[in-house]
Every structure is written in C-alpha cells, then in structure tokens.
Structure 1
Amino acid sequence: MTRQEKGPDRHDKTDNTSETRPALNDWGIPDWRDEETYGDVKKWTLDRWRWEFFRRREDLRKFFDDRAKAQYRSNQAMKNAPNIASSSFEGLPSEPGFGVSSPDCADLFGYISVPNPRIGNQPSGIIKPLANYQSFKITDGGRIPKDYIYDEGDFNKWYCVPQRQDMSATRKPSITSERKTGLSAVPFRYFPVALKKHELAINFDINKPIDQQVKEAREILISIQLERHGKALQVRRHTKKWLSYLRTLDAREAGASWSEISTLHPESQQTDQTGRDKWNQARSLCFNL
C-alpha cells in the first residue's frame, strides 16, 4: 500500500472524523480491516453505492487511465478555443468531477463519462447512471423525427432519409423527385421505434387523463413480464450487506486469504468456501448494481 492522505475519502472532508485512520491505497480504497475507515455509509446515495462497486473494476480503472491525459488536453483545447462555448470540465484528472468518455462508455459502464476511480466522493451528476436521467425512451408525436423530410409536391407525404447532414437546417428541407428513387413514402405521423427483444413500446395520449393510462400500461407490462419470465421481477437490494461486500473486494485486492475474508461475514460459516462465495457475490455487484 502507498501511504496517502488520512480519511476514508481524501476528497470528502465530512468523512474525515479521525486523524488516526489508516491511509488509502493507490486506488483510494480504505483499509478493509477497519470498518470506520469507510466513513458514514448511511449517507451514501444509491448512485454512490453503485460508483463504489464500479470503481473497483479493473476494466473501468484501465478505461480511465488510458484516456485521462488525452481527455484533459481536449478539455483544455476546447476551453481555450476562440468563439467556442465549452462546458468541458476545467480541472485536473486528479480532481472530483473530471471524467473521460468514448462512444461505448455508456454500453460498458452505464455512465455518460467515467470519473477518476481513485476518488469515491464524486459530484452527484457524474456518477448518476445514464439510465436514471431518463427511464423511458420517448417518441413524441408532436415532433418530427430527425430522419424525415417531406415531399415538396405533397406535404403529407414523408420519406425516411438516412443522410443526417440533410437535417442541419432549421427548417426541414423538402425532398426532390430525383431523391424519391429507392425511398418509400411513409405516413406523416409514422414514428419507428427500435426495440430490443426485452423491450416494448406503449402509446400514451397527453390529451387524456394520465393516471388511468399509466395504470393500464402497468397492468400490460406486468402481464407480459409474467408471460415471459413466469414472475414479476423485483429489485432486491440487500444494502445492509453492501459494506461487507466492499470490504470483501478490498480485502482480496490487498492480498487477504479466503479464510480472512470469511471473518467479514460472521453470519456464515467461517470457511475458505465462504470467503470465495462472498467475494463472487461482491464481484457481481461491480457489474449489476
């Protein structure tokens, strides 16, 4: 371990209640042998818990380190570029709030950008999973799809055009007779929705009362879930065990034996197999919380 600043999170002064706590390791992880070094976990949000598990993943750590320098240079270039309004983070990679991204960032980790995994106490916005920003995919009948342009001879005839460069104008350009070749006309209010095998789409009418529509939609969703899975799926979060699971991950990373890890779970048999099983359960939370 490398001795660093005192406290459960060097960036969370509210947790630094003791000057005698062991130092964090190179990844900002507390000493697994002392529960108090983790700070007041009762104040952690669900997003913070998720981040604490995710920041212990090797692939996430490598993802950040591989991109941090380039992302910092890009942020600085955007900040200093004339006539460009930039919202890029202006701080250093070692500071809370700095994040790196890539086209597959959301698919890999569920975040818009990945902050420094050495820091637990990150701003709430950057550790909010992308799925939580909008739980549902919305197709709005009051807006024209980006890929659609109209027939200049008949405004009620529309065509789906894949070239997005045509969509740069404020007003949708019309489609010429030459460009109609190979394209199929679609109804004015045709809105395609790309669905995965486990997804379905339900229409809601905002001109009608919402409560009854939501009730009916819920019944439909549950009935289909029962049909597909044989049961209604529920999220079961054993939050009381999460601290023990974090300590389990940290213990194994620090070189603790399976037998030592089993002592973190006094409700179970104190065996090597218990240590392995609890580590596997903790490891799964790093990917599925």
Structure 2
Amino acid sequence: MNDWGIPDWTDPLAYGDTEGWHLWRWRWEFYRRREDLRKDYMENLEQAYRNDLWLRDKLKDTKIIFGQVKELGDRSFKVPAPGCDEKYGYPALPHPAYGDHPIVDICPIRDRDEDVGLVSGEWFDDGIGTIGIQPNEMAIVFKLDKPLSAQLKAAKEELSRQQRVRSSEGRTVRKTRPSPADRLAYLRILDARADMPEAKWREFTDALFAHGLVDRRKDPAGGYCAPPPQAGRDRWESANDLRFDF
C-alpha cells in the first residue's frame, strides 16, 4: 500500500475480496483516487477538526450525545469540504486513504440509478414538497388512474429522446456500469498510471499487456501481436471517466 492506501496494481489479490464489495464501495474506490478530492480533504481537515471541537464545547451542557473525540487525521473523521456535495456527491468526505469505510459513510447523497418515477425544469412539486431537478435529470409524472403500460412506454420514449438531445449537444450520456471484474481491471489501470505517470503510452500499454489488462490484437500478417500504444491510452481514459461519473 502507498500513502493513499492504494494496493500494488500488479497483484489483483492485493485489492482484497472485491466480489463482496457493495456498489457504493466501488464508487468510493474510484472517487478516492481523484487528486481534487484528496486535496479538498487535506486542505479542509484542520478547520473541520477545530469546528468539531468548538461544537462539542458549545453543546456540552445539552442532551446532545456526541461520539468519542477523534484525533486529527483519524481514519473515521469526515470533512464537510465546501461544495463536496455537488462536486463529489457526498455530504462530507471520508478519509481518502481508506477504502473500507462503513457503508453509511460512503453512501452518495443520491444513488441516481435507484431514482424512480421522478417534468423537466429546475423544480418539481409533487404536491407534498418541492424536489430540485439537476441539469442531468428529468422528472416524469405518472397517473395512477390510467393504464401503466402505455405510460411506461411513453416515458421510455421521452427519456430516450432526451438522451439523444444530450448526445447531439455533446453532453455525456453514461453507459451501463462495467461488471465487477471490469471495475477491478479499471482500478488497477488507474493505479498503474499513477505508479508510472511519466511513461509513454507504448511503455504503459506494454506494462498493462504483461499483466493481462489489455488484450492482444490480430496481426494482419497472421496470428496475434501486442496491442498498439493507443490501447493502453483508451483503457486508461475509460477508467478515468469512472472517477467522475460512476
């Protein structure tokens, strides 16, 4: 492990029992490899620690129960860095040097793949409360006194149309998340690049190929050959995308 708790990328077993990882653990593993997240955590850590001590002292005579005081830099200390909710999707940042935080600490503010039944616009009033609609979201109203199948079909068609519009405008439409096996490969590729940041793509691709992280290619002359330099670059770019949109 290096200082950020990143395993040896050449050994898949060094990553532990990844088959048992929750989806939120996978998300956190990609996000904690972001330099901006690490910087936000470290730059705001001391102030967050002072704020925590101040609040404890201010409320010491109330009935509010606090947990044990944590040491500065304790692995379980979370930092509410400014804007981290919008930037990373967390109300407060767990320590980025650790991956195995309690699930509740690495739960994103909203697991968007589980949003159901959410009219385009900035706000949607469901009659009970007002829901903020993000630029990459769309709300759909379903009528309970109408046949469901026709509504679902219309909703799917409209969602597909909106995604085509986003694509035509050059905005990202996220593809299906990779399988757990591919996720581990992508983590290893990110860690390989961090381990050899100055390597040319030829050297980087050869290293990935040696460890089974890029596939051989068919040789026009017959048989197979090592992958071209852009193969490693393309794999790294796909892995890097997951650090910003998992």
Counterpart of 2:207 in structure 1 is: 260
Partner of 2:49: 72
SS of the equivalent of 1:241 reads: helix
Residue among 110, 121, 139 paired with 1:201? 139
Asked whether the equivalents of residues 96 and 123 of structure 1 are also in contact (C-alpha less than 8 Å), the reply is: no
Say if 1:246 and 1:282, in contact at 8 Å, map to a contact too.
Answer: yes
* 1:158-169 superposed matches below 5 A: none
Partner SS state of residue 227, structure 1: helix
Instruction: Say whether residues 1:273 and 2:221 are aligned partners.
Output: no
Amino acid in structure 1 at the alignment position of 2:139: A
Deviations 1:99-127 (A, max 9, x none): 11134111110111111110110111111
* Aligned with residue 135 of structure 1, among 88, 102, 115: 115
Matched residue, 2:76: 97
* More RCO (CA 8 Å, sep 6+): 2
Report the Cα distance in structure 2 between the residues aligned to 1:103 and 1:86, rounded to whole angstroms.
25
Aligned mates of 2:155, 2:174 — CA distance in 1: 11
Letter of the 1:243 counterpart: L
Work out whether 1:117 is the aligned partner of 2:96: yes
Distance 1:30 1:196, change over 3 A: closer
Matched to 2:236, the amino acid is W
Name the one with the larger helix percent. Answer: 2
Please list the CA deviations of residues 91-150 of structure 1 after superposition, one character each: whole Å capped at 9, or x if unmatched. Answer: 23533432111341111101111111101101111111111298367745356xxxxxxx
**From 47, 55, 67, the counterpart of 2:32:** 55
1:1-289 paired onto structure 2 within 5 Å: 24-81=1-58, 82-84=60-62, 85=64, 90-132=69-111, 135=115, 139-142=125-128, 195=133, 198-203=136-141, 218-230=152-164, 235-255=176-196, 257-258=203-204, 259-264=206-211, 265-268=213-216, 269-289=226-246
Over aligned residues, Cα RMSD in angstroms? 3.2
Distance 1:194 1:120, change over 3 A: closer
Misfit runs of 4+, over 6 Å: 231-234
Shift of residue 233, structure 1, vs aligned partner:
7.8
The SS at the match of 1:77 is: helix
CA separation in 2, counterparts of 1:261 and 1:286? 19
| Cα offset, 1:66, TM superposition | 0.4
Q: Structure 1 residues 234 and 253, CA, compared in 2 at 3 Å: closer, same or farther?
A: closer
Letter in 2 for 1:141: G
Structure 1 residue identity aligned to 2:194: E
Instruction: Give the Å deviation of 1:267.
Output: 2.5
How many residues matched?
214
How many percent identity over aligned positions? 31
CA drift at 1:263: 2.7
Instruction: Judge conservation of contact 2:45–2:73 (CA < 8 Å) in 1.
Output: no
Write the distance in 2 (CA, Å) between the matches of 1:282 and 1:98.
Answer: 28
CA distance in 2, matches of 1:221, 1:101: 37
